[in-house]
Structures are given as structure tokens and as C-alpha cells.
């Protein structure tokens, strides 16, 4: 997928624990999740979530079209992916096995910085 990264609203991301747990209910046993994005924060958020939950990472790169991994994937690009590639942005790719429920996110304490 090439989802909206929802900066600042991580619970709305399609790779947030609530969504991943929903996907797990409809995936076959040991089904995999693929993420393609130009947003490094979304990529790192999802990679961190997979690592913290001890999910098996099958493929992982922060430069899909600069790696040999692109040859393993179908040559399908979304409108936004094409747009970001044309603008010279790197595309990140992550594929992992979703074989267990994902722990919910812990609330963050946000502190305002004084001017």
C-alpha cells in the first residue's frame, strides 16, 4: 500500500496496532503485510512496531528503487508513488509476517515548550 502517513495522528495510520489487529483477523495464518511509502517517519514507526512485537521482517529497505528488492515486486505504482518518484523522493518498503496481536500504543506525554 501507499497509505496516508497521518503525521501527528499515529493511531489513524493503517499500520497502527488497532488496524494491524483487524488485518490479522482476515489474513491467512502467517499472512504478510506490505508497506510502501515515501514517508520515513511512517516507515520507521512501522518497522519499530514490528521489531517491538517480535514480528518476522521479510523485506526491508529505505530505498526500494535503489535496491534489488524492486525486482521481486509487481511493477505496480500508485499515483502518489509515481509523483514522489518523479520528484526524486526515495520510496521505503517493508514486508513482515503478522502472526500475533500487536500491543496497543502507550499514551505519550506531550510537553509544550516555552517560547
Q: What is the DSSP string of 52-106?
A: HTTPPEEEEES-GGGSGGGGGS-S---HHHHHHHHTT---EEEEEE--SPPPPPP
Which residues, other chains included, contact 89 with Cβ-Cβ below 8 Å and sequence gap of 6+?
A: 38
Higher per-residue confidence, 58 vs 109: 58
Neighbours of 74 (CB within 10 A): 5
Q: Which domain holds residue 27?
A: 10-97
**pTM score:** 0.84
What does the chain come to in residues? Answer: 115
Catalytic residue among 4, 41, 59, 99: 4
Residue 29 confidence (pLDDT)? 86
2 inside domain: no
Instruction: Look at residue 106 and tell me whether its pLDDT is greater than 80.
Output: no
Structurally, the chain folds into a number of domains equal to 1
- Tell me the mean pLDDT in the region 50-58: 94
Q: Is there a catalytic annotation at residue 48?
A: no
Q: What is the CATH number of the domain that holds 63?
A: 3.40.50.150
**Mind listing the pLDDT tens digit for each residue in 63-104?**
999 999 998 998 899 999 999 999 999 999 999 999 988 888
Amino acid at each position: 500500500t501507499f497509505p496516508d502517513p497521518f503525521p501527528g495522528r499515529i493511531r489513524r495510520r493503517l499500520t497502527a496496532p488497532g488496524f494491524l489487529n483487524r488485518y490479522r483477523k482476515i489474513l491467512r495464518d502467517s499472512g504478510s503485510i506490505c508497506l510502501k511509502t515515501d514517508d520515513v517517519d511512517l516507515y520507521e514507526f512501522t518497522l519499530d512496531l514490528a521489531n517491538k512485537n517480535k514480528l518476522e521482517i521479510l523485506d526491508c529497505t529505505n530505498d526500494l528503487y535503489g535496491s534489488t528488492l524492486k525486482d521481486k515486486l509487481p511493477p505496480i505504482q500508485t499515483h502518489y508513488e509515481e509523483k514522489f518518484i518523479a520528484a526524486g523522493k526515495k520510496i521505503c518498503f517493508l514486508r513482515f509476517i503478522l502472526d500475533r496481536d500487536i500491543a496497543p500504543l502507550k499514551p505519550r506525554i506531550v510537553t509544550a515548550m516555552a517560547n
